Structure 1
Amino acid sequence: MLRSYIRLVLFALGLLIGVQVPGFITDYAQRIEAHRLEAQQALEGFRKTATQFFGGDLDRLVAHYRASDDPVFQNDADSIGVLMRRDQMLERQWQAMQGPWYERIWHVIAEANPVILQETWAGYRYQVVLTPESIGWGLACAFLLSWIIESIALALAILILPRRKSRRLV
């Protein structure tokens, strides 16, 4: 009987963990989008200048700043370069989060920006949202966790507990 309750608890734990996955992925995508919009806004003035004088080419604007004898312009070239790289990184992250669910999951697991991922973990609030996607993730995680723990327990029992010899009735 205790074994059945342990199975139920493991299943419920897996279910509760699984329903968190879509919410966390959504929170990460929203953070990426917010940072992306902020980076674009930070570059807006430089984009206007690049459009006015360099046909919209920010790289040419940066090259012009670097070629200047004025150390202030040279320093600004480095600052604009940092903003441009961040904008490009966030754009790639945002594009990756626009794909199908399995690509978004893989992206967060393998290629997420560590700083924004940590921000998402720090700000994430556990929630039970019963969308079809959350229910699917919950059931999948519940079955997987239950199966893994049961398999480990069975393997340990086979290795640790000696086999009983069956008695033959004569």
Structure 2
Amino acid sequence: MPKMLATLIDRCLFTVFFILGLQVPEFMQQYTQRLSGHLHEAHYQLEQFQAIADNQFQGNLLALIKRYQSNNDDVFQQTGQMIENLMLRIEGFNQNLTNLQQGDYLNRLYYFITQLDSQLAAATLEQYQLAIPVDINALTTGVTFAIILLLLGSLFSFLIKGLIRRFSTNNQIITRGPLP
């Protein structure tokens, strides 16, 4: 009976870990969609300044930024810095989106894990919708995640049992001996 219970628990744990592993590619997809939305909004904001640059500086956005930054008024200087930061933000979003959409799955997964934007990830997690994606990458991730966690659990269990045996053996030697 205890062996059957252990087998049942292992199967349940595998299933739970498998479903959790399936969520990694789904979270990546929802994160990528959120990133794409931020990129779209940043482009929209920059287009407003580009329209001014088109009218006043023959389309040269950098000339508009320099004009703002060279102004003695702090408000205009800060606006120039804001436009420059917006351009850098768009460049970063473009690079991140490219890395998350191109290349093989393992490279995209590695990039996602190592270059995760914590604020964007937190916002994605707030609106996250559980899903069971049924593609080879998701299934492979799910199985791999489940196997690794079960192996780690088995290793942990093996180490604990070894420590318990060792501790109980040491206690038996001490308690079995004659009292002086």
* TM bracket (short chain): 0.7 to 0.9
TM-score, normalised to structure 1's length? Answer: 0.84
- Structure-to-structure mapping, 1:42-121, within 5 angstroms: 42-51=45-54, 54=57, 56-99=59-102, 100-121=104-125
Is residue 11–residue 143 contact of structure 1 (8 Å, CA) maintained in 2?
Answer: yes
**Identity rate of aligned residues, in percent?**
26
Note the C-alpha offset of 1:58. 2.6
Deviations 1:120-141 (A, max 9, x none): 1111111112222221111111
- Structure-to-structure mapping, 1:87-166, within 5 angstroms: 87-99=90-102, 100-162=104-166
Aligned with 1:40 (options 33, 38, 43): 43
Structure 1 unpaired stretches of 5+: 165-170
C-alpha root-mean-square deviation of aligned residues, in Å?
2.2
Note the C-alpha offset of 1:59. 2.6
Deviations 1:83-112 (A, max 9, x none): 222222212221221222222222222212
Report 1 or 2 for greater relative contact order, CA contacts < 8 Å, sequence distance ≥ 6. 1
Provide the secondary structure at the position in 1 that maps to 2:32.
helix
Q: Which has the larger radius of gyration?
A: 2
Structure 2 unpaired stretches of 5+: 170-180
TM-score, normalised to structure 2's length? Answer: 0.80
